[in-house]
Chains A and B, each alone.
Chain A
Amino acid sequence: MGVGIEVRGLNAWYGKNQSLNSIDMTVLANHVTAVIGPSGCGKSTFIRCLNRMHETIPEARAEGSVQVGEMDVYGSGSDPVEVRRRIGMVFQKPNPFPTMSIYGNVAAGLKLNGFRNRKQMDELVERSLKLAALWEEVKDDLHKKSGASLSGGQQQRLCIARALAVEPEVLLMDEPASALDPISTSKIEELIFQLKQHYTVVIVTHNMQQAARVAEFTGFFLMGSLIEYDKTEKIFTTPADKRTEDYITGRFG
Chain B
Amino acid sequence: MPDSVSASAPQEVSLWRRVTNQGATTFAVLAVIFVLVPLLAIFVYLVIKGIGSVNLAFLTQTPKPPGEVGGGMANAIVGTGLILAIASVIGLPLGIGSGIYLAEYGRNRFGDLIRFTADVLNGVPSIVIGIAVYSLIVVRQKHFSAFSGGVALGIMMVPTIARATEEMLLMVPNVVREAAYGLGIPKWRTTLSISLRTASAGVITGCMLAFARVAGETAPLLFTAFGNQFWNLKLNQPTAALSLQVFTYAISPYDDWHKQAWAGALILIVLIVAAVAAVRITTSRGMMKGA
Q: Complex Cα distance A89/B193, Å?
A: 19
Known A83-B184, A99-B287, A145-B288; 7 more pairs at CB < 8 Å:
A53-B182, A84-B182, A91-B178, A95-B173, A98-B291, A145-B289, A166-B183
Of A108-116, A118-126, A190-198, A241-249, which binds chain B?
A108-116
A86 at the interface (CB under 8 A from B): yes
The chain B residue sitting closest to A105, CB to CB, is B179
- Give chain B nearest CB distance to A86 CB in angstroms: 7
Which residue on chain B has the smallest CB distance to residue A58? B107
**Shortest beta-carbon distance, A207 to chain B, in Å?**
20
Known: A91-B178, A97-B176, A145-B289. A86 touches B198 (CB 8 A): no
Q: Cβ of B193 and Cβ of A146 under 8 Å apart?
A: no
A81 is an interface residue with CB less than 8 A from chain B:
yes
Q: Which bracket fits the contact residues of A?
A: 20 to 34
Cβ–Cβ < 8 Å partners of B176 in chain A: 95, 97-98
User: Is the beta-carbon distance between A85 and B184 smaller than 8 angstroms?
Assistant: yes
User: Does chain B have a CB within 8 A of A43?
Assistant: no
Asked if B183 and A108 sit within 8 Å, CB to CB, the answer is yes
- Across chains A and B, which 7 residue pairs bring their CB atoms closest together, nearest first? A85-B184, A149-B290, A109-B183, A146-B288, A89-B182, A95-B175, A84-B184
Instruction: Please report the total number of B residues contacting A with Cβ < 8 Å.
Output: 25
- Beta-carbon contacts under 8 Å, A62-115 to B: 81-86, 88-89, 91, 93, 95-101, 108-109, 112-113
Q: Which of A93, A144, A163 contacts B182 (CB 8 A)?
A: A163
Q: A98-B176, A99-B200, A162-B179 known; A113 and B185 CB under 8 Å?
A: yes
Residues of A within 8 A of B173 (CB): 95
Q: Which residues of B contact A162 (CB under 8 A)?
A: 179, 183
Q: What is the minimal beta-carbon distance from B238 to any residue of chain A, in angstroms?
A: 44
Q: Pick the contact of A163 from B175, B183, B200, B290 — CB < 8 Å?
A: B183
Summarize B's interface: helix, strand, loop or mixed: helix
Return chain B residues, CB-CB under 8 Å to A85.
Answer: 183-184
What residue of chain B has the Cβ atom nearest to residue A86's Cβ? B184
Given the interface contacts A56-B178, A99-B198, does A109 sit within 8 Å of B184 by beta carbon? yes
Q: Which residues of A contact B182 (CB under 8 A)?
A: 51, 53, 84, 88-89, 91, 163
Say whether A97 contacts B198, CB under 8 Å.
yes
Chain A residues with CB under 8 Å of B189's CB are: 112
Of all chain B residues, which has the CB nearest A96? B179
- The answer to whether B49 has its CB under 8 Å from any CB of chain A is no
What is the minimal beta-carbon distance from B222 to any residue of chain A, in angstroms?
42
* A144 to B182 Cα, complex, angstroms: 25
Cβ-defined partner of A146 (8 Å) among B179, B184, B289: B289
B180 sits at the interface (CB 8 A):
yes
Whether the Cβ atoms of A98 and B184 lie closer than 8 Å is: no
B259 at the interface (CB under 8 A from A): no
Q: List 30 A-B contacts (CB under 8 A).
A: A51-B182, A53-B178, A53-B182, A56-B181, A58-B107, A82-B184, A83-B184, A86-B184, A91-B178, A91-B182, A95-B173, A95-B178, A96-B179, A97-B194, A98-B198, A98-B291, A99-B197, A99-B288, A108-B180, A108-B183, A108-B185, A112-B180, A113-B184, A144-B289, A146-B289, A148-B288, A148-B290, A149-B288, A149-B289, A162-B183
